[in-house]
Each structure stands twice: as structure tokens, then as C-alpha cells.
Amino acid sequence: MTPDGDSGRNGYGVIVVGAGHAGCEAALAAARLGARTLLLTMDPDSVAGMPCNPSIGGPAKGHLVREIDALGGEMARVTDRTQLQIRMLNTGKGPAVRALRAQCDKWLYARAMGRVLRGQPNLDLRQGSVTGLLWEGGGDDWRVVGVETELGRRFRGAKVIVTTGTFLNGRIIVGNTSYPAGRAGESPARGLSEDLAAHGFAIGRLKTGTPPRIDARTIDFAQTELQPGSTRPLEFSFDPVPADEIAGATPNPVYPGAERHDGRLKMACYSIYTNPGTHDLIRANLHRAPLFNGSIESTGPRYCPSIEDKIVRFADKDAHQLFLEPEGFTTNQVYVQGANTSLPEDVQLALLRSIPALANVEMIHAGYAIEYDFAPSQQLRGSLETQRATGLYLAGQINGTTGYEEAAGQGLLAGINAALAVRGEPPLSFRRDQAYLGVMIDDLITKEIDEPYRLHTSRAEYRLRLRQDNADLRLTPVAERIGLASESRLRRWREKAQAIEAAGEWLDAARIPANDASAAALRAIDSAPIAEPTPAANLLKRPRMKLNTLRELAGAPPVDREAAAQVEMEALYSGYIRQQDRIVERSRKLEHAPIPPEFDFATARGLRTEARQKLERVRPATLGQAGRINGVTPADIAVLMVYMKRAGATPG
Amino acid sequence: MATATAPDTIAAIATALGPAGIGVVRVSGPGALAVARRIISDGSAGGLPDRVATLVLLRDPHDGSFFDQALVTYMAAPRSYTAEDVVEISCHGGIAAVRATLAAALAAGARLAEPGEFTLRAFLNGRIDLIQAEAVADMVAAPTDLSLKAAREQLGGRLSGEVAAARAQCLKLLARLEAGIDFSEDDVPPVDRRQAAVDLSAVRSRLDHLLDQADRGRLLRTGVRLAIVGSPNVGKSSLLNALLRSDRAIVTDVPGTTRDTLEEQLDLEGIPVVVVDTAGVRGTTDAIESEGIARSRRALAEADVALLIFDAGRELNDADRAVAAMVREYGVPVLAVLNKSDLPEKTGDGDLTALGIDGPAVPTCALNDAGVAPLRTALLELIGGGDIRANELPLVTNERHQEALRAAAAHLEGSATAVADDLPADFIAIGLHGAVRVLGEVAGEDATEDLLANIFERFCIGK
């Protein structure tokens, strides 16, 4: 096989299994980095599907989308092309936790991503359901060299990335009914988890769920509360898509509140509330709920509980808010956010109809729970290559995560690392203080996944550094180094970085005169006037002071708003950033204390059984990593410290 | 090799070496019972019932000769201090007897324990946590009964409990802030800033309360150094002896100190006091005088407090004035003593004031022990230990814990400032994260997972 993996008609550098959010990013990144890439999916006409809420972003997730974008991924640009509503969340809660969230037209999203895939040189999008991998080697030294489809066709590839989402032995559950499925109306993927298990992989089972979809024509919108999005044009991508690529068809007239802003069509969402009648109905039918009558045993995510779970756990609340979200510009299909359920279909319909706005509602399809196989992510390296098998990478829900954004981030990293490996280059990884992507991957390889993993901003210790507005400054240099940034992206990043640098230099040197103009400007922000010429840098530390106000006072032309914002934040918050760094460093004194690779956890007395088992499985390289494994307590770390100290005292 | 080897059986003398009625040799490890059987009389070798003291004869495992009688108690794993099989042999006290017992245990297959190894094993076997392990070390080193009691309270987990409670308060507020950030579109009630300020100050006062006790705690653990200074022949040595005579505790010389300054340990109503005596300087030659001054200087440089002794029976001389000047120079808190108060008074409080020494001086008569009780009281007050007994026992005696509590308090101060400055939630959270982390170092758990668990328990989240 040649180094680029092209060994003829059937030889690929990188094969990606599954064309969801992880698979699409993986295939695009690999192809863009020069690997001959095959993307195999059950249905090439429906890639990048959104089987749950057609929403992208939110706290931490929106940060991740911007990081994917800064690294040359596609999710942000496809979202920008197909958003029907976008908002900036957390505007009053601090600059680092501000986050974009968009609602997309899910059909347009899939189509737009499909167009990108089909237009990508080096990338073949093909139909095929993969039932097994091609293995070489044996024992503890396996190598994956390709895939086999259910039709018996074999594709050879130097690297294989498996991104099967919820399809691995998926089973849908609604009330008493359950049937094998990957998503509603789609077949599950069979054979692959058995193949992985046969080669020594641990396989677990997780659960997630989705609410019913209802017909917009049967909603009494007059009894809902309008939830409009931002009227300001907001975009995810640092490299904006051309205006003519932005979707904006004539909207379905059934939806009130649709408006055009700056030529872009923006739709509204609608909120409603459950009531005691709804809750009584659910309680009366709990014996028919698979979550409570024992027919679902796998764990679902705590942050995405079913409506029946919420009623049981928060019994004292007599109303829960639900959101009605159109799934596209023209569709009648409306997503009922907050009403995840696997109750029988008749109970679902009855509970919806107990809400005044939905008194006459009809369901398009019922909510359901889905159970699926996953490969616990502690079996991965930081590159997302598996520890057991060279050449095999796993990304997305197969690693126990949830969320399109989390999947896309992993897909991007796996695609990059597979392509780098084909080129013979070392893998790319990110530190926890560098990117949410780094936080997520480090969590995945060290933490036990006992519920689907979702990113939260509270998982990031260096939260003030990981802002959504500086993702390009943090990561585009990396994209440039590996060759994944487009010319236009690089140009924008350079311009922004240079503007910030120049503004910073100006700030360090400039002095603001003590005159009427400066007094007035300071008065405008309720700040005391200055008595003598004062360094601009000092004045920028005053709350609400703007860089361009100072520049005007000093007679300098205004700088770009985004560059100004970066300089302002640095001035205002650098003290807090340093405090945060110190807090983390203090508790991370052990971060780099190495654990010898040959250390035998099995014979270490003092470790609790649970901790010992987890340490043996994860084999952390440092005490810091060991400390992040959940189930490993500070007492266990103290025990390890005793052994490390002893080992240090007696060399050899 | 970086493996953790299987435990062997260790033995050590568990009581202080010295004249005492009973000495205890402790044996711990899988072979503890076997070791015991090899050194006790055949008659009782068959059965050492769990947790029952059995009277046996001790014999030398080499020649079988009996050398002592002892009470032997076997405690089967895991219900023992180390959670291993433990045998405790209570033999006759006295250095020779206890050493003979230890030697027999070693000859029977035990290894001499390293310092702290029993506690290390208790910790490694999960019998005690880190705070408790530290408390054991403090207990072993405890110089007075009160120090011992404070360490024992810590061993009982009272500090862990207090710290865990403070940390839980921080987590609760943090969960509210973080829920508002990470689940901003959910039905999470916003954090009321006034309430946040109240909650923050509640945790602060809990930490401050612990910290207030910390200084007194350190007093108990490490004690104070007291210098007794004065010009020649004012009665320093006899005063020291009177002080020591009045002490109920056993007085021992601390070895390894300088040959010419004598150090004595004094139990001052529970506060350990190391007395640095400059006695022994007598005579009138210049050489001896200057040597005495050098010693006094050394003692004052090391001391936390000083007793400045004057002879009430004669008028102040140049030597008195020189010593007083020296004390003022070192700035050590000082208690003046007018010794020989049985003689007609030639020097009084007024004369001392003229020297710049604050009164009133304590009148004593070291020859007949008169005035020693008021001296103890005045000294205790000077040290600041007077209220230790009156108030509850301090929990924080350890520097590491004190430092963590101080850091936590500083972090909370940062959060309080962020609330006062009207900064957004993200900035209020920073200090709380810091406090949770440092408190977690004392008592703790994985902060992030704890936080998420806290959020999901308290708020109905998820759409």
C-alpha cells in the first residue's frame, strides 16, 4: 500500500462508517487533508440527520461548534445556511458563557451537508451497511484494515472511523411495543458490535429518547406564548457563507411570528405549560411506562429526562414549560421540546391534549425511547484511535456521548488524526485549557460513562479562556498548521489577530487627555473624571468603557468591533482569568506526576475495589488523570501518592 | 519495581520508652498470630480468642526460656487499628522489659516497623482517612493532655464534618449559578444577588469560626517558647524550679539542644511551654557576664514570650537596666516578675515603668513557692491560651488545614466582591469553584461531578 493509502480501485486511506454529524466531519476532514476517503452510509440521500431537536448550539455546545468551525469543520457553515431562528444565550451571565443557539430546517440541513460531501474532492459517498471490520493480527495486537458490508463487499482502508450513532443494535421502545431500529423508521446496524466484542472490546448499552412530533395545523397558536429569536443577524461561522447560500423560502403560513430581518427569514418558537391534569394523567399511567415498569433498564441522560421522569422526580412542581419548535420553514412537523417520552401512544396523545393550546392536536409520530450499544470510551486514546486495535477510530454516540455537536467535534478530530496517521504524522490533541474539544476528549478517555455524555460549560475549568468569540484565535493557527483552513478563513483570522495586536499595542502606549471630552465620556459610564493625562489601559479597566471611545478621545480611528471586544475583555477580565488559572493549577499540582507504565494497580493495597478496577482499565499516565476518573476518590489518589513516593525513594 | 508488595508482619513498641508500669508491643500483619504463638507459653498458644486479653508467660523463641508475664490481646482483621491481624502484648514496663519483648517478637519473624508504619497501614487499608492519619501523627507527638484531646477530636472526624458542611454550602450556591448558565433556557430560577451575598457570608462565618480557633489550635500542637531572663542572682533558676515543681506533668530534658541553655518542658494548664533557661551563669568576671548576655540574647531571639526577673530586695542596677533594654530591643511580649518578694521591697512597679517595662509585675518568692500560682495565671494570659478551656476545643491544629481554610475564605471573598460589583454569574462562580476545590483537598471529592449531581438533584432540567 502506498503511503497515501491509495492501493488501487478499492484501497482507501480512510474509511468512515456512518454519515451522521460525526461521520460527515470525519470524512470531510480526512479528504481535505489529502486522504482518499470513503464514506459509507445506509442511505446516502439522508446524511447529517437530526432525529431529535433540529437545534445546534447552546452553552458549551455552541462553543464547540465555533471550535469545529475554527478548525475547518463544516457544522457551523451548514447551520448558518439553514437556520430558521438563532439567539445569543446567557448575554447577562458573563462573556465566556455567552452561547449561540440556532434552530435549523432539518431537511435543508441534511441537503446542505449532502451537497458539501458530494462537492468534496477525494471523497466517495457510497451506500452500504457495514456488518464487520477486516482484522489483522491477533491476541492483544489487532489492526483494522477495512470493512465488510451486509452484501459481502469488502473495502480496504488504512484507517477506519466508526461513527454509528444510535444504530448499533438499536431498539425503539414505545409503551409495550419495542422493535429493532436505528432511528424512527430506519433499520439498526447489526453485526458490528458483535464483531467489536469478539475482538475484545467492552460494549455497553445506553438509552435516550425523543418527544412526539405534532401537526402544526392542529395547534391553537393563540394559546401559546411567542418565543422570537434574535432580530440581529448572528452567525456561527468565522468564515461566513455567501448570502445567496442562506435558506429563506416562503414559510408555511400556519406559523405566526415569522419575520424578515436583513433579508433573512426568521421564524418563532412557542411556549406552553403542562398542568396538574397532565401530571395526573401521567401518574395514572406510570405502570405502562417502560422507564418505570422495568422494560427499560439502561441509563438515560439526567439533563434530558422524560416527561414521566420529571413528574415523578419533581412531584411538587405543578407546571413544566414545553416549547413548540417548527422543524423547518415549510413543514407542518413541530417538535415538542421538553416532552421526551416512551409512554404508550394513546397516553402521549392524551397528555398533549390536556394542554389548552393542544386540545385538538394530532401527532405526526409518537415520542420514543431508544436503546443502543456503545463502546465505553475509556478504551480510546486521546487521538480517538482505540487502544486495542491500530487503525480503528471511534467517534460520536458510539463513544457514549450525546448531541450533534459533541459527535461532530469527535468526528472532526478522528478524521484529522486518521488522515495525519496516513501521512505518518503524530496525532493532534488539545489541552483542557485550550478548547472544549480538549475538555471533552480528556473527559471521555478518563471518565466512566454511565449516562450519555454531554458537554457543559461547568466541565471546563478554564472557562474564561474558552470563549466562543475567541475560538478562531485559539484554534485556527492549528488548522493552518495541519492544512485544514481555507484561504478565506485564514485571511479573516489574520486580519482579526492583527487588528487585536495593533489595538493592544496602541492601548499600551496611548494616554487619554484630561479634558471636557474625556470627562463627558467618563460621565456617560458613571465613572469619575481624570485630573491628568491617564494611560488608556487604565481607563479601559473601568466597567462599560469601550476601546473605540478611548481611541476617539485620543484622536485615533476606530478599530473593528470584534477586535475591540477582545481587547476590552482582556483588560476587564485578565485578573479573573489569572485567578481561575491559579485555582486550577493549585489543585493540579499532581497533574504531571507520572505513574510508571508498569505500575501494578492490582497489587496496590489501600485502593478501594471500584477504584482499582477503574485504574486498571484506564491505566492513567499521571496522577492528574487518575484523579479525574470518576470513582477514584482523593483517598485513592493519596494512596497512589504513597506508592509513587516510595517508588521515588527506592529507585529501581 | 513499581508493584505494591504483599504486607509482611511488623512489630514495634507502642508506648513511650521510660519508667512506667506497663509497656505495649504491637504486632500487625498476616503473621501476627504466628509471631505471638512463638513467644508465649505453650499452655495458651492454642487459643488466643479474638479481642480477649489473655494472661501468658513470654518466652525467648531461641531457647524457650520464659522472661516475663504479659497480657496478650489478639484483634482479628479487619477489626483492628490497622485493619490487619494485630496482637498487642502488654508486658511489664521499663526499658529493658519492653525491649526484651520486642526482641522476642522480632526473633519470632516480625520486622521492626518503620516510624508511622502502623498508621500508614491503617490508612492504606482504608481504616482512616488522610485527615485522621494526620491527627494520629499529631496525637503521637501531642505534648500535653489538651493537645492530645484536640488531635483525638480530629481523629473522630469533627473537622472533616465541618469542612464538608462548608463545602456543601458552596456547592449548593454554585449549583444554582451553574444551572442558570448551562441550562439557561430551562425553568431554572435566577440567582437572587442579595440571597447570594447572604449565602456567601454564611459560609464565610463558618470558615472564620474555624480559623479563629486555628491560632489556639496551633498553640496546642506546637506550644510556645518562653525565655526566662534577668540579671545574675535575681533567682531565675529557683523560679524555674518552682514553676517545674508546681507542674503535675512529668518533666523531661529535651535532648539535642545546646549544651549551655537548658530547655525544660512545662504543661501550663494544657498549653505546652518550652522554657529556655539562661540559668547557670554565676560569678562576676567580665567573661562570664558577657557569656550570660549572649545566652540571654539567643533565648530572646527564639522566644515567643519572656519572663523578666528582678530582685525586689535590692535597687535596680546597670545589669537590670541592660537586660530590660535587651528585652525591649527584641520586642518579645514580656511579663515582669519581682522575685524575693519576701524581702523588704527596694524595687517596685514604679521603678519598672521607668525602665519601659509594663506592669504590674508579679511578686514571687521562689524559695517558698509563694506566688507561683499567680505567675502561672499571668503567664497563661500573656500567651493568650486563657480562653482555650473556656471555649470549645479548637478543631484546626494543623498548618495544612489552616492554609486550605484561609485560601477558601479568600476565594469566597472574591465571589462576594463579584456580587458587590454587580459582575455576571460566571465571575461569582470563580471564587466558589476555588473554595470547593481547596475544601475538597481537606475533605473532598471530584468537584465537577459533584456539581453536576447537585444541579440535577435540585433542578428540573431537560427539554
DSSP string for residues in A472-526: HHHHHHHHHHHT---HHHHHHHHHHHHHHHHHHHHHHH-EE--SHHHHHHHHHTT
Other CB atoms within 10 A of residue B78 CB: 12
What residues of chain A lie within 8 A of the CB of B30, using their CB?
A: none
Cβ contact B452–A458 (<8 Å): yes
Torsion of CA B255, B256, B261, B266, to 10 degrees: -40
Q: Mean pLDDT over residues B106-118, rounded?
A: 80
pLDDT for A337: 94
- Cell 533594654 sits on residue: B325
Q: In order of start, what are the domains of chain B with their CATH numbers? A: 10-126 (3.30.1360.120), 155-216+396-458 (1.20.120.430), 221-383 (3.40.50.300)
Cβ contact B430–A580 (<8 Å): yes
Rounded to 5 degrees, φ, ψ at A13 are -75, -50
pLDDT for B431: 92
Question: What mean pLDDT value characterizes chain B?
Answer: 74
C-alpha neighbours within 13 Å on the C-beta side of residue B109: 14
Q: For A156-165, B386-395, B396-405, which range has the lowest pLDDT when averaged over its residues?
A: B386-395
B389: pLDDT confidence band, cut at 50, 70 and 90? very low
The residues in B 109-128 lying below 8 A from A, measured between CB atoms, are 120, 123-126
d(CA B339, CA B124): 56
What residues of chain A lie within 8 A of the CB of B456, using their CB?
A: 302-303
Q: CA-nearest residue of chain A to B179?
A: A458
User: Would you state the cell numbers that stand for residue A556, as one nine-digit string?
Assistant: 485615533
Cβ contact B120–A305 (<8 Å): no
Rounded to 5 degrees, φ, ψ at B103 are -60, -40
pLDDT for B390: 37
Cβ contact B434–A579 (<8 Å): yes
pLDDT for B384: 66
B154: pLDDT confidence band, cut at 50, 70 and 90? low
pLDDT at B437 > cutoff 80: yes
Tell me which of B266 and A89 has the higher pLDDT. A89
Is A301 touching B (CB cutoff 8 A)? Answer: yes
What pTM value is reported for the model?
A: 0.73
d(CA B232, CA B239): 13
Q: Mean pLDDT over residues B98-122, rounded?
A: 81
Least CB–CB distance from B414: residue in A303, A579, A598: A579
pLDDT for B256: 29
B62: pLDDT confidence band, cut at 50, 70 and 90? confident
Is domain A487-582 annotated with CATH 1.10.10.1800?
yes
CB neighbour burial string for B374-404, b if at least 16 within 10 angstroms, e if fewer:
ebbebbbebbbbeebeeeebbbbbbeebbeb
Segments of chain A scoring below 70 in pLDDT: 1-10, 298-299, 585-592, 606, 634-635, 638, 642, 645-652
User: Would you state the cell numbers that stand for residue B435, as one nine-digit string?
Assistant: 473554595
Cβ contact B456–A302 (<8 Å): yes
Rounded to 5 degrees, φ, ψ at A423 are -80, -5
A631: left (phi over 0), alpha (psi -120 to 50) or beta: left
Least CB–CB distance from A94: residue in B3, B426, B434: B426
Mutation to test the A interface, candidates B177, B426, B432, most A Cβ within 10 Å: B426
Other CB atoms within 10 A of residue A492 CB: 19
Closest CA to B404 of B434, B428, B433: B434
pLDDT at B198 > cutoff 70: yes
The residues in A 438-467 lying below 8 A from B, measured between CB atoms, are 447, 456-459, 461, 463-464
Helices vs. strands in chain B: H and E counts, helices first: 16, 12
Least CB–CB distance from B181: residue in A97, A304, A340: A97
User: Would you state the cell numbers that stand for residue A244, as one nine-digit string?
Assistant: 445567496
pLDDT for B378: 83
Residue A91, classed as helix, strand or coil, is coil
Compute the nearest-CA separation of A241 from chain B (Å).
Answer: 28
Other CB atoms within 10 A of residue A243 CB: 11
Q: Are B409 and B169 in contact (CB under 8 A)?
A: no
pLDDT > 70: percent of chain B: 68
- Tens of pLDDT, residue by residue over B4-59, are 456 789 988 877 655 566 788 899 999 999 999 888 876 555 578 888 888 888 88
d(CA B388, CA B269): 10
Domain ranges across chain A: 213-367, 487-582, 601-649
The domain defined by A213-367 folds into Elongation Factor Tu (Ef-tu); domain 3 (2.40.30)
Compute the nearest-CA separation of A480 from chain B (Å).
Answer: 31
Least CB–CB distance from B441: residue in A457, A579, A587: A587
CATH class of A601-649: mainly alpha
